[in-house]
Structure 1
Amino acid sequence: MDLAKSAYLTKEEHAPAKPKLLSHPTAKTGLMGWLTTVDHKKIGFLYGFFALIFFLVGGFEALLIRTQLMVPNNDVLTAQQYNTMFTMHGTTMIFLAVMPLSAAFFNFIMPLQIGARDVAFPRLNAFSIWTFVAGAIILNIGWFAPILEKILGGVHNAPDAGWYGYSPLTSKTFSPSHSVDYWVMGLQLLGVASIAASLNFIVTIINMRAPGMTMMRLPVFTWMTLITSFLIVLSFPFITIALVEVMMDRNFGTFFFEISGGGMPILWQHLFWVFGHPEVYILILPAMGIISEILPTFSRKPLFGYPIVVFSGACIGFLGFAVWSHHMFTTGMGTVATAAFALATMAIAVPTGVKIFNWIGTLWGGHLMMRTPMMFALGFVWMFMIGGFSGVMHSAAPADSQQNDSYFVIAHFHYVLIGGSIFALLAGLHYWFPLMFGRKVSEFWGKLSFWVIFIGFNVTFFPMHFLGLNGMPRRTFTYDPNLGWNTANFIATIGSFVLGIGMFIYFTVLAYTYFKGEKVKKDCWDGRTLEWSLDNPPPEYNFRVIPTVHARDAWWYEKHHKEEIEKEKAEHAKAEEAHGGIHMPFGSIWPFVASLGLLIGAIAISAVSANPAPGIHLKLGMSIVGGIVMFVGIYFWSLEGNEGYHLHLDKDGNPIEGEHHDAKH
């Protein structure tokens, strides 16, 4: 249904005859309720649930890596197992943990911040989450190699060519098993999910803002959602093209990256990094948006330099496409290209520095409340600055040439992605947890988890700077005791287990709070943006009356102009009721069915590709079945069109029971 058009109707518009009383349709519960939901809040929960599962999986893989490197000549993992661990750790943390956890906030928080009742395309939103799950299953299905080999034949194992996927390591010569095929197909499905969700967010933000919410009144988190969505739409086609070429090289005898046929392995690096560097900002811009919401709330003052913060975020997104080859300074591009990308890399540090100065300006002179979200936010600022300093060092080609593919780079991007993205996401979980579940996390346990995570993180990754400067290469599964890397590796491994304990405390406390935490009323932080105007957890329809926005901090304005706002809401409620009440979309199973078909077909195609002979009839049958299931899902999905239902509320905001029939808008 066209939620963009039905979001708000003014009293001046002609009101048709009042329709029959319509009720909320019988809601599906249990598993079927989750499989058919199109509610953006529930889809946000699903993204968060799966992201946290894979966050724990990626963390376990990291602990195995650090255990292997704890002492010289260790044999906890073989070389092949180590390759698999760092490949899956990188892929899992980026594509299955940080990105979907950001998407969880995009889904849950962004529509509430702009005063919308749902996203523009609710069923497409459901399709994106289930396609994400399908891609995650494909990526990890190689762990069940014995079962797959028994059913499908051939050789199966988890991806092991490195999460960069550098050619020729992804060729059949170096990876004859199905592992790379699973990696390629899994990333393709994740790309479909990401682009579908991003297009949805772009349309939602542009078309479904509440009346009065101009672009320069958008909360910064919503701005970063918009910029991140554009980055995904513009950058993912590059990795899609590259993955298609890998698939064609492996299965159809093409030579995009095969030297023997005139291909160029370095072409993969260009395609990967044209995607890969914007991907860094896809991971960090949502974090910057979260921090820009938390710091004003706990400083008790507006964000300092709001227009500059927004503009600098847009500059980061734009310049992110102009710096990819600083990952390739050692490939011999030539002095002109190296100089150009070095200058662009230096330039991109400027808008990032501008944001940091604005955050400091927000803190300066504020009445600081040192709650747990604030602690994680301040930790983000400091850790991200350290990662940024080492990043600026890499803009100098001579320094980068020495540090490239060393543990110094490992330290750098973990300070950016853990000290940056994950610290901010943990801050966001604490900050919006009362809104999502109506319960508040204990400050004692929240702050304890922060300090354990903070200490464990720095003990783990700061020594890696010295390991890199002392020449330890990344991706090495063991080392000789005479190389001088023993002490730093031992300390880093101890730190990794401390970090793991901190994460265990954090998520255990969240789980306890979900069931037994202190219940709180709405707006427990005295927030500034519209999501805090709602009860917690928010009702299915979000806003009983679509709000009219009068200021940048919309909820802060409402709290200080109550009489004016209440009168305005009463008038708008009458106008909306006269036009049929609140319009809501039906749930649908068909997006899930379409994603299920993609999953079945992707498994079959991946299993056929490396060695089609064993079980060829079963594989072809699975491919056909998958295609049929997908097209059936899409067909019946299309028949649903824009159907929804009318929802009428009593004075307390509860749905009124009565005659129910469908509504098309």
Structure 2
Amino acid sequence: MSAVLPPSASPVARDGGHPAGAPPVLGSVPPTAQQAALLHATWSDPPGLSGWLSAINHKAIGRRFLVTAFGFFIVGGLLALWMRTQLARAENGLVGPDLYNQVFTMHGTTMMFLFAVPVMQAVSVYITPLMVGARSIAFPRMNAFAYWVYLFGGVMLFIAFFSNTGADAGWFAYVPLSGPEYSPGKRVDFWAQMITFTELSALLEAVILVTTVFKLRAPGMTLNRLPLFVWGMLVTAFMVMFAMPAVMLASTSLITDRLVGTHFFNPGEGGDPLLWQHLFWFFGHPEVYLIFIPGLGFVSTIVATFGRRPVFGYPAMVLALIATAFMGFGLWVHHMFATNLPEMGKSFFTASSMLIAIPTAIQILCWIATLAGGKLNLKTPLLYVLAFFFILVLGGLTGLMLASVPLDLQVHDTYFVVAHLHYVLLGGAVFPLLGAVHYWWPLITGRMASERLGRWSFWLLFIGFNVTFFPMHLLGLEGMPRRVYTYPADRGWDGLNLLATLGAYLLAAGLLVMLFNLWRSYRHGERAGANPWGAGTLEWGSTCPPPAANFDAPPVVHGAYPLWMPPQQPSQVAGLAVDRREQLVTTVLDAVPDHRANFPEPTPWPFWSAVAVTLCFVWSIFTPWGAVYGLIPAAIGLTLWFWPRRRETAKHLAVERAPR
């Protein structure tokens, strides 16, 4: 902890009252108000429209990710209401079969690709640098580029939908249904390109988050002091890097089959339609845990804060997260039990599907032990966590049922599977997410949400969720198939479908109350002050909301919950420049100060590069030559993005030439 960094060669003012040229050290003298003001001005994004397009601050990008993801969530929810209204009674004529297929596909695609994974990464983009004590996220320009690519991909998909070119082969797009023989036109082409867009964004964010966690942690934040939320996002990022290439390969193969005439999935020419299912579900089942594991991180953070004690069994919790991620890659065939695969192989995947419940059970027991031994502060975020326990157990039990091949064959492609999916994803991920939104809302906005409205929205969401999806278990057991736009009146499914539809509207009402509460608090809510929940992690160690540079001086960490510890020395890093974007880089294992790095300044080129890449992808939908000629503006944008400016080059050289 006594390591120091080499002095900069340029005579600049430094934090903590240190003279120009002094090396960064671990100390306790806070910077002056003038130095802090200059520091935060240095890390701020420029004003105006050009500054908005040039923004690279992780908090600004994180807010955009969150707003965009929740915007897609609302649209996906409206599509779900449309479907439930159609299915409220038998032989309803509100929606025809073609439009219903588009609505069904757009709902699933929006929720899985445009909301579930991006929103988890959005929370991490905002929170992780603060929680590890960094001034910025790693690769801030690439972070901005990832957001623009994600936004343009989603907008492209919905432009196609409103032009009657919406994807209609299901969010899983099984071949040969999605192939050129059975899906002519451009509907599936837009879907396949959107997949590549969103997965490119997710891959970039994964690289950014892994680098941030490994190299930008505050001094003293060793891996065994890393917050459980950060562990969850780190594990998720590694899963993204292993899972996403599979679906990108699948979507690229599909679109070349459709546009170029390849035969990856055409059995008549030596292809194999089951190859699509293997590639898609090798991504698709880990994707469940890409959504679920961040939710576990939210739960651990909320349980510790509102249980007013550290989470019980920290090593077991970390190992359970890693075990869940590792085993998540060995389950994909349980989505394919109805295909002609060897029965012996299916038995192994049955065993894996049941085994993965063990690490989750370990975490639930640790959370219960934490709450049982703590002094509960029963606020809205903790209510969402308690609901998560109830819903996750129900979803997990039906998951164990579906892991059995004989039962899976009986309820395959019925509403029983729909019910299980929503209990696991909405209950296991969205309820913790909504709790996290209420928990970090004061940090993001500086305002407290209404507790009364928060409880109203919680109970509406909880009751509406169960009224919507629990009857679907019974519908599935009665034989109602999924992916149908209507059903005969003599099957006796009307009552349960009407009940599920009423629950969906109740669910929507709860979401509206929550959105009204957040909007009202943003405009007129009570000021939050510093650390309003009395939390122990570093993101609450600054102001609410945090300034541009996150901290006046990067903190030094002495424990897993630094804000719950008595002050110890050294308490902060002093000596980093305040007139340029200088970040402390630490070692991977023990977070010992290693060197300083100059971070890039805002630039509009990530935005224009994303526009060029979008042009390339959309052009390629209509002609394969678009993929060739479209690379030219993309290459120009990337070149100008990385082209060094004289001022930035001088700052980098000043650091590189400093004596070691």
Letter in 2 for 1:639: W
In the alignment, the residues of structure 1 paired with residue 479 and residue 551 of structure 2 have an alpha-carbon distance, to the nearest angstrom, of: 58
Q: CA contact under 8 A between 2:13 and 2:579: conserved in structure 1?
A: no
Letter in 1 for 2:294: P
Tell me the alpha carbon deviations over residues 59-97 of structure 1, each in whole angstroms, 9 at most, x when there is no partner.
Answer: 000000100100000011101111111111011011111
Structure 1 residues 459, 12: closer, same or farther in 2, change over 3 A? closer
Q: CA contact under 8 A between 2:69 and 2:115: conserved in structure 1?
A: yes
In the alignment, the residues of structure 1 paired with residue 272 and residue 215 of structure 2 have an alpha-carbon distance, to the nearest angstrom, of: 44
Q: CA contact under 8 A between 1:231 and 1:278: conserved in structure 2?
A: yes
Matches within 5 A, 1:258-657: 258-557=266-565, 560-561=566-567, 564-565=568-569, 568-569=571-572, 572-574=573-575, 585-608=600-623, 626-640=630-644
Q: CA contact under 8 A between 2:581 and 2:599: conserved in structure 1?
A: no
In the alignment, the residues of structure 2 paired with residue 638 and residue 295 of structure 1 have an alpha-carbon distance, to the nearest angstrom, of: 43
Matched, 1:43 2:44: no
In the alignment, the residues of structure 2 paired with residue 331 and residue 493 of structure 1 have an alpha-carbon distance, to the nearest angstrom, of: 32
Structure 1 residues 403, 535: closer, same or farther in 2, change over 3 A? same
Matched, 1:108 2:116: no
Give the deviation of 1:10 after TM superposition: 4.9
SS state at 1:471 partner: coil
Matched, 1:60 2:94: no
Give the deviation of 1:378 after TM superposition: 1.1
Q: CA contact under 8 A between 2:12 and 2:577: conserved in structure 1?
A: no
In the alignment, the residues of structure 1 paired with residue 576 and residue 116 of structure 2 have an alpha-carbon distance, to the nearest angstrom, of: 42
SS state at 1:329 partner: coil
Matched, 1:133 2:148: no
Matched, 1:158 2:166: yes
Give the deviation of 1:143 after TM superposition: 2.1
Structure 1 residues 480, 226: closer, same or farther in 2, change over 3 A? same
Q: CA contact under 8 A between 2:45 and 2:56: conserved in structure 1?
A: no
Matches within 5 A, 1:197-236: 197-236=205-244
In the alignment, the residues of structure 2 paired with residue 452 and residue 286 of structure 1 have an alpha-carbon distance, to the nearest angstrom, of: 24
Q: CA contact under 8 A between 2:298 and 2:433: conserved in structure 1?
A: yes
Give the deviation of 1:625 after TM superposition: 7.0
- Give the aligned partner of residue 150 of structure 1: none
TM-score (norm 2): 0.89
Structure 1 residues 661, 336: closer, same or farther in 2, change over 3 A? closer
Structure 1 residues 478, 282: closer, same or farther in 2, change over 3 A? same
In the alignment, the residues of structure 1 paired with residue 653 and residue 241 of structure 2 have an alpha-carbon distance, to the nearest angstrom, of: 34
Give the deviation of 1:482 after TM superposition: 1.0
In the alignment, the residues of structure 1 paired with residue 576 and residue 52 of structure 2 have an alpha-carbon distance, to the nearest angstrom, of: 33
- Give the aligned partner of residue 20 of structure 2: none
Matched, 1:185 2:202: no
In the alignment, the residues of structure 2 paired with residue 579 and residue 70 of structure 1 have an alpha-carbon distance, to the nearest angstrom, of: 60
Give the deviation of 1:505 after TM superposition: 0.8
Which stretch of the first structure deviates more once superposed, 212-221 or 598-607? Answer: 598-607
In the alignment, the residues of structure 2 paired with residue 532 and residue 12 of structure 1 have an alpha-carbon distance, to the nearest angstrom, of: 27
In the alignment, the residues of structure 2 paired with residue 324 and residue 211 of structure 1 have an alpha-carbon distance, to the nearest angstrom, of: 40
In the alignment, the residues of structure 1 paired with residue 204 and residue 582 of structure 2 have an alpha-carbon distance, to the nearest angstrom, of: 29
In the alignment, the residues of structure 2 paired with residue 529 and residue 183 of structure 1 have an alpha-carbon distance, to the nearest angstrom, of: 40
Q: CA contact under 8 A between 2:612 and 2:633: conserved in structure 1?
A: yes
Q: CA contact under 8 A between 1:242 and 1:271: conserved in structure 2?
A: yes
In the alignment, the residues of structure 1 paired with residue 575 and residue 159 of structure 2 have an alpha-carbon distance, to the nearest angstrom, of: 54
Structure 1 residues 426, 31: closer, same or farther in 2, change over 3 A? farther
Letter in 2 for 1:324: W
Structure 1 residues 301, 484: closer, same or farther in 2, change over 3 A? same
SS state at 1:370 partner: coil
- Give the aligned partner of residue 612 of structure 1: none
- Give the aligned partner of residue 98 of structure 2: 80
- Give the aligned partner of residue 31 of structure 2: none
Q: CA contact under 8 A between 2:8 and 2:655: conserved in structure 1?
A: no
SS state at 1:373 partner: helix
Which stretch of the first structure deviates more once superposed, 525-534 or 255-264? Answer: 255-264
Letter in 1 for 2:617: A
Q: CA contact under 8 A between 2:9 and 2:655: conserved in structure 1?
A: no
Q: CA contact under 8 A between 2:13 and 2:578: conserved in structure 1?
A: no
Tell me the alpha carbon deviations over residues 259-291 of structure 1, each in whole angstroms, 9 at most, x when there is no partner.
Answer: 332321111111111111110000111111001
In the alignment, the residues of structure 2 paired with residue 172 and residue 594 of structure 1 have an alpha-carbon distance, to the nearest angstrom, of: 31
Q: CA contact under 8 A between 1:72 and 1:479: conserved in structure 2?
A: yes
Q: CA contact under 8 A between 1:195 and 1:232: conserved in structure 2?
A: yes
Q: CA contact under 8 A between 1:298 and 1:374: conserved in structure 2?
A: yes
In the alignment, the residues of structure 1 paired with residue 581 and residue 471 of structure 2 have an alpha-carbon distance, to the nearest angstrom, of: 63
In the alignment, the residues of structure 1 paired with residue 154 and residue 221 of structure 2 have an alpha-carbon distance, to the nearest angstrom, of: 37
Structure 1 residues 9, 208: closer, same or farther in 2, change over 3 A? farther
- Give the aligned partner of residue 5 of structure 1: none
SS state at 1:330 partner: coil
Give the deviation of 1:307 after TM superposition: 1.0
Number of aligned residue pairs: 617
Give the deviation of 1:642 after TM superposition: 11
Q: CA contact under 8 A between 1:67 and 1:493: conserved in structure 2?
A: yes
- Give the aligned partner of residue 48 of structure 2: 30
Tell me the alpha carbon deviations over residues 110-130 of structure 1, each in whole angstroms, 9 at most, x when there is no partner.
Answer: 111111111121111111111
Letter in 1 for 2:92: N
In the alignment, the residues of structure 2 paired with residue 219 and residue 441 of structure 1 have an alpha-carbon distance, to the nearest angstrom, of: 25
In the alignment, the residues of structure 2 paired with residue 228 and residue 549 of structure 1 have an alpha-carbon distance, to the nearest angstrom, of: 24
Structure 1 residues 75, 17: closer, same or farther in 2, change over 3 A? closer
SS state at 2:336 partner: helix
- Give the aligned partner of residue 11 of structure 2: 18
Letter in 2 for 1:573: A
Gaps in structure 1 of 5+ consecutive residues: 1-7, 146-155, 610-619, 647-659
In the alignment, the residues of structure 1 paired with residue 627 and residue 420 of structure 2 have an alpha-carbon distance, to the nearest angstrom, of: 43
In the alignment, the residues of structure 1 paired with residue 248 and residue 325 of structure 2 have an alpha-carbon distance, to the nearest angstrom, of: 20
Give the deviation of 1:486 after TM superposition: 0.9
In the alignment, the residues of structure 2 paired with residue 581 and residue 9 of structure 1 have an alpha-carbon distance, to the nearest angstrom, of: 20
In the alignment, the residues of structure 2 paired with residue 590 and residue 577 of structure 1 have an alpha-carbon distance, to the nearest angstrom, of: 25
Tell me the alpha carbon deviations over residues 462-519 of structure 1, each in whole angstroms, 9 at most, x when there is no partner.
Answer: 0000000000111011001111211100000000000001101111111111111111
Matches within 5 A, 1:225-264: 225-264=233-272
Letter in 1 for 2:144: A
Matched, 1:122 2:140: yes
- Give the aligned partner of residue 652 of structure 1: none
Q: CA contact under 8 A between 2:45 and 2:55: conserved in structure 1?
A: no
Q: CA contact under 8 A between 2:391 and 2:423: conserved in structure 1?
A: yes
Tell me the alpha carbon deviations over residues 235-282 of structure 1, each in whole angstroms, 9 at most, x when there is no partner.
Answer: 111111111111121122221112332321111111111111110000
Q: CA contact under 8 A between 1:119 and 1:200: conserved in structure 2?
A: yes
SS state at 1:521 partner: coil
Structure 1 residues 346, 588: closer, same or farther in 2, change over 3 A? same
In the alignment, the residues of structure 2 paired with residue 96 and residue 581 of structure 1 have an alpha-carbon distance, to the nearest angstrom, of: 34
In the alignment, the residues of structure 2 paired with residue 634 and residue 579 of structure 1 have an alpha-carbon distance, to the nearest angstrom, of: 24
Which stretch of the first structure deviates more once superposed, 527-536 or 376-385? Answer: 376-385
Q: CA contact under 8 A between 2:45 and 2:54: conserved in structure 1?
A: no
Which stretch of the first structure deviates more once superposed, 623-632 or 178-187? Answer: 623-632
Q: CA contact under 8 A between 1:224 and 1:285: conserved in structure 2?
A: yes
- Give the aligned partner of residue 657 of structure 1: none
